[in-house]
């Protein structure tokens, strides 16, 4: 199996440098990854390096906690697109989900999707903090908000993706959403397991290790 087309090569930690982003992009070109996932402040740099290559630049919004205001998330998403991002990964407001503020969540997703138009929107559920019922509900709210994907994790929570959660998200999405597995995927065998379980994309900072 060729894993390159599944991989969103990711670098989001707080100390990431300009040179590290350049290296990330060079690796994405070398190994023909689907895209790179970077903080908004590095979107323009990544886009400039990848402009002659069919590699997407993915930006994160409301990252990593998800509890910013909707206005702030929409503004961040619009600016990331202006800088050259092709896709947006937004963090769902977990506190709102646990508070039963479901309309606020779906409305927020819908506003961000409207702001970015035809570009793909992924909703990060941060599954390590959610029950199975909450994961299922998060998928339903993502569908209601017209998102394109649901994603397991930021990589900053207490745990990353699990095969069980991917299968649950696949069932709950009923073919209306694609699935991105992220968090803790560090080798080829594990990545293949997640794809077999239903993941359409793999988000990882270990992309090179997955394809070697």
pLDDT one-digit tens code per residue, 186-211: 999 999 999 999 999 999 999 999 99
Give the pLDDT confidence score for residue 19 in this predicted structure. Answer: 98
CA atoms of 65 and 157, how far apart (whole Å): 9
Q: State the average pLDDT over residues 82-110.
A: 98
Q: What angle do CA 201, 204, 206 make, to 5 degrees?
A: 130
Question: 48 with 42: CB under 8 angstroms?
Answer: no
Question: What does the alpha-carbon distance between residue 41 and residue 160 come to, in Å, rounded to a whole number?
Answer: 24
- What pLDDT shows up at residue 55? 98
pLDDT for the residue 39: 98
CB pairs under 8 A, 24+ apart, for 94-97?
94/66, 94/67, 94/126, 94/129, 94/130, 95/67, 97/130, 97/134, 97/137, 97/138, 97/141
CATH code for the domain defined by 4-211: 3.20.20.70
37 to 50, 73, 104: CA distances (angstroms): 12, 17, 26
Instruction: Specify whether the CB–CB gap between 56 and 34 falls below 8 A.
Output: yes
Between CA 70 and CA 76, with CA 75 as vertex, the angle to 5 degrees is: 100
- Give mean pLDDT, residues 137-148: 98
pLDDT at position 105: 98
Beta strands (DSSP E) in the chain are: 7-10, 35-38, 56-61, 87-91, 120-124, 149-151, 178-182, 201-204
Nearest one of 18, 148, 9, 130 to 90, comparing CA atoms: 148
**What integer best gives the mean pLDDT of the chain?**
98
CB 179 within 8 A of CB 164: no
pLDDT of residue 34: 98
Percent of the chain's residues with pLDDT above 70: 100
Residues 29-50: pLDDT tens digits?
A: 999 999 999 999 999 999 999 9
Q: What is the pLDDT of residue 161?
A: 97
- The pLDDT value given to residue 119: 98
pLDDT band at 109 (very low <50, low <70, confident <90, very high): very high
Q: Which two tokens stand for residue 79?
A: 């600016």
Specify the pLDDT at position 24.
98
Q: For 45-87, write each residue's pLDDT tens digit.
A: 999 999 999 999 999 999 999 999 999 999 999 999 999 999 9
Helix H segments across 32-93?
A: 43-50, 70-83
Interatomic CA distance for residues 190 and 183, integer angstroms:
11
What is the pLDDT at residue 76? 98
pLDDT of residue 17: 98
pLDDT at 14: 96
Which residues form the catalytic set? 89, 151, 180
In the chain, where are the structural domains located? 4-211
Answer yes or no: are the C-beta atoms of 79 and 44 closer than 8 Å: no
């Amino acid at each position: 199996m060729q894993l390159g087309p599944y991989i969103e090569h990711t670098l989001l930690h707080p100390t990431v440098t300009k040179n590290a982003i350049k290296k990330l992009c060079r690796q994405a070109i070398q190994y023909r990854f689907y895209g790179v996932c970077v903080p908004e402040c590095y979107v323009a740099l990544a886009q400039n390096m990848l402009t002659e290559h069919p590699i997407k630049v993915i930006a994160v919004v409301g990252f990593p906690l998800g509890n910013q205001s909707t206005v702030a998330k929409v503004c961040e998403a619009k600016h990331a697109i202006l800088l050259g991002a092709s896709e947006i990964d937004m963090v769902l407001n977990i506190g709102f989900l646990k508070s039963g503020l479901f309309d606020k969540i779906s409305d927020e997703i819908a506003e961000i999707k409207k702001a970015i138009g035809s570009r793909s929107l992924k909703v990060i559920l941060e599954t390590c903090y959610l029950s199975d019922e909450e994961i299922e509900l998060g998928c339903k709210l993502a569908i209601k908000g017209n998102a394109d994907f649901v994603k397991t994790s930021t990589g900053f929570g207490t745990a990353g993706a699990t095969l069980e959660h991917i299968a649950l998200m696949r069932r709950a999405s009923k073919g209306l959403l694609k699935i991105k597995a992220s968090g803790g995927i560090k080798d080829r065998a594990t990545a293949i397991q997640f794809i077999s379980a239903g993941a359409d994309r793999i988000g990882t900072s270990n992309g090179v290790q997955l394809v070697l």
